[in-house]
């Protein structure tokens, strides 16, 4: 047992190895570069984000911008789809592309020796895709099948209901998204690509086994040759109403288990206080004594699982607790969840709870920081959202410095007395 404890302490000490906060560099053409060295790994992770994303979709475009994430892997001006597949396999075959409301992203991990080749491939994929029409039709069919399959997943149905209630200005029904996808043309997607996939909206984040000087030189050789756009990228964000939320909303799905979400908007929340929000969530749902975990699972067995989450990409921001349960327990789960959330305001975390939440959160942050892809993604998102980059040590100090009074004040200010319950049954 002592040996196991010693191993954990050594692991956390190694993970906390002092590293200065990465300083971003902007190339002449507007590409922003952030580099983070990690001497404990032999791999380098790359995360590239392009400002824009699904938040810019108009109502008749909902569901279509994400198609670009798949299409960019279908060939470029100098590479066929087979060429790309072969090169990715040789480089480690660990590439993921995706779209969020705030950006498109591509990320992957490769051996240090393959970093420049990987950067060159990603640059070609992102900036010079051929976007063949025949691949669009295949991508459409795959996406539509995926959307229709979501009706068998209580979590996906609950996610749909959540977007419908909390973000009605962004949401359209699944069938509307399918119709939009069916009707979108390759010329329209090419115009979307031309608008958003440009150097001055690009963040290149690299973390792990690297020399900052060498990695910056590589990035300049690969991305620095892209021509500087004549005008600065102006992101066209949609406006989202902070309208009153219903007390309760349910949807049928024919699923065997019930999905239950209890949530609220975080009106007035500042993203710089994310560490306080994370600590509040850790008080609620950590498996070592979190209030929701204890009250809903350990004491009563009302749920199969429960966790908290939040969304800070689209304003107004939201906080929620999600659980899965038997259908006969829906009312009991809703009542108990709301009671626990309200009690957090009336009875803030004491010193023991706060210490446990801090250790739980620091372990999660330390663990993620040991994985280059998480560190590269963290740094890229910070730059995309215009937030300060913080070293791992700074993040640890911010968590450690939170007092009982500070967390209690934050909870009182941000946690409402009125919660919205969403149920898929």
DSSP 95: E
282 has a pLDDT exceeding 60: yes
Please tell me the predicted confidence (pLDDT) of residue 253: 67
Please tell me the predicted confidence (pLDDT) of residue 21: 65
8 has a pLDDT exceeding 60: no
17 has a pLDDT exceeding 50: no
Per-residue pLDDT reduced to its tens digit, 202-259: 999 999 999 999 999 999 999 999 999 888 766 655 567 778 899 999 987 667 788 9
CA distances (Å), 35 to each of 23, 164, 203, 242, 414, in order? Answer: 7, 38, 11, 37, 34
Which of 19, 307, 46 minimizes the C-alpha distance to 202? 46
Q: What residue has token string 């023991």? A: 352
Please tell me the predicted confidence (pLDDT) of residue 2: 38
Local confidence band at 315 (pLDDT 50, 70, 90 cut-offs): confident
Alpha-carbon torsion (171, 173, 178, 182), positive or negative: negative
Computed over every residue of the chain, the mean pLDDT equals: 90
Please tell me the predicted confidence (pLDDT) of residue 238: 56
In b/e form, how buried is each residue of 327-366, taking b as 16+ CB within 10 angstroms?
eebbeebbebbbebbeebeeebbeeebbebbbbbbbeebb
User: Of residues 398 and 267, which shows the higher confidence score?
Assistant: 398
Please answer whether residues 314 and 240 qualify as being in contact, where contact means their C-beta atoms are separated by less than 8 angstroms: yes
Per-residue pLDDT reduced to its tens digit, 42-69: 899 999 999 999 988 998 999 999 999 9
Whole-angstrom distance, CA of residue 220 vs CA of residue 28: 9
Please tell me the predicted confidence (pLDDT) of residue 20: 61
Per-residue pLDDT reduced to its tens digit, 397-407: 999 999 999 99
93 has a pLDDT exceeding 80: no
Local confidence band at 384 (pLDDT 50, 70, 90 cut-offs): very high
* DSSP H stretches of helix in 273-350: 274-285, 291-292, 330-346
Per-residue pLDDT reduced to its tens digit, 402-425: 999 999 999 999 998 899 999 998
Provide the percentage of residues in the chain whose pLDDT is more than 90: 76
Classified as helix, coil or strand, 323 is strand
Region 329-358: what's the mean pLDDT? 96
115 has a pLDDT exceeding 60: yes
Q: Supply angle C-alpha 113, 114, 116, rounded to 5.
A: 105
Can you list the domains of the chain with their CATH numbers? 2-223 (3.30.830.10), 248-424 (3.30.830.10)
Long-range contacts of 5-12 (CB under 8 A, 24+ apart): 12/362, 12/363, 12/366
Which of 417, 363, 416 minimizes the C-alpha distance to 392? 363
Would you state the structure tokens that stand for residue 310, as one six-digit string? 């939040």
Please tell me the predicted confidence (pLDDT) of residue 350: 95
For the whole model, what pTM was predicted?
0.89
Please tell me the predicted confidence (pLDDT) of residue 6: 39
Please answer whether residues 411 and 280 qualify as being in contact, where contact means their C-beta atoms are separated by less than 8 angstroms: yes
35 has a pLDDT exceeding 90: yes
Please tell me the predicted confidence (pLDDT) of residue 16: 41
Please tell me the predicted confidence (pLDDT) of residue 239: 60
Whole-angstrom distance, CA of residue 119 vs CA of residue 125: 10
Long-range contacts of 147-150 (CB under 8 A, 24+ apart): 147/63, 147/174, 147/177, 147/178, 147/181, 148/174, 148/178, 150/174
Contacts of 292 (CB under 8 A, 6+ apart): 284, 285, 306, 308, 321, 323, 337, 340
Region 156-183: what's the mean pLDDT? 92
């Amino acid at each position: 047992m002592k040996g196991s404890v010693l191993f954990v302490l050594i692991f956390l000490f190694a993970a906390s190895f002092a590293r200065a906060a990465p300083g971003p560099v902007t190339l002449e053409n507007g590409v922003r570069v952030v580099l983070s060295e990690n001497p404990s790994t032999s791999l380098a992770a790359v995360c590239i984000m392009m400002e824009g994303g699904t938040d810019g979709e108009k109502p008749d475009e909902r569901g279509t911008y994400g198609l670009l994430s798949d299409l960019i892997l279908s060939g470029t001006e100098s590479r066929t789809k087979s060429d790309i597949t072969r090169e990715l396999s040789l480089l480690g075959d660990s590439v993921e592309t995706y779209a969020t409301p705030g950006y498109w992203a591509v990320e992957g991990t490769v051996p240090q020796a393959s970093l420049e080749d990987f950067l060159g491939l990603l640059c070609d994929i992102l900036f010079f895709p051929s976007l063949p029409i025949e691949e669009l039709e295949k991508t459409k069919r795959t996406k539509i099948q995926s959307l229709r399959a979501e009706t068998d997943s209580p979590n996906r149905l609950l996610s749909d209901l959540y977007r419908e209630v909390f973000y009605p200005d962004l949401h359209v029904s699944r069938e509307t998204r399918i119709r939009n996808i069916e009707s979108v043309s390759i010329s329209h997607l090419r115009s979307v690509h031309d608008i958003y996939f440009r150097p001055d909206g690009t963040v290149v984040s690299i973390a792990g086994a690297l020399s900052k000087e060498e990695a910056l030189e590589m990035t300049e050789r690969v991305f620095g040759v892209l021509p500087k756009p004549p005008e600065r990228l102006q992101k066209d964000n949609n406006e989202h109403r902070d309208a009153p939320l219903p007390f309760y909303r349910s949807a049928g799905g024919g699923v065997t288990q019930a999905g239950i979400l209890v949530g609220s908007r975080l009106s007035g929340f500042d993203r710089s206080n994310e560490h306080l929000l994370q600590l509040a969530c850790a008080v609620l749902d950590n498996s070592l004594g979190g209030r929701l975990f204890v009250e809903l699972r350990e004491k009563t067995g009302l749920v199969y699982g429960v966790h908290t989450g939040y969304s800070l990409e689209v304003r107004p921001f939201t906080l929620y607790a999600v659980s899965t349960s038997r259908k006969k327990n829906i009312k009991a789960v809703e009542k108990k969840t709301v009671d626990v959330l309200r009690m957090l305001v009336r009875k803030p975390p004491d010193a023991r709870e706060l210490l446990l939440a801090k250790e739980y959160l620091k372990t999660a942050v330390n663990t993620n920081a040991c994985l280059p892809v998480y560190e590269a993604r963290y740094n890229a998102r910070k730059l995309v959202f215009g937030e300060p980059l913080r070293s791992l040590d700074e993040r640890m100090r911010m968590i450690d410095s939170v007092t009982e009074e500070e967390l209690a004040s934050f909870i009182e200010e941000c946690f409402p007395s009125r919660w919205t319950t969403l149920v898929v049954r």
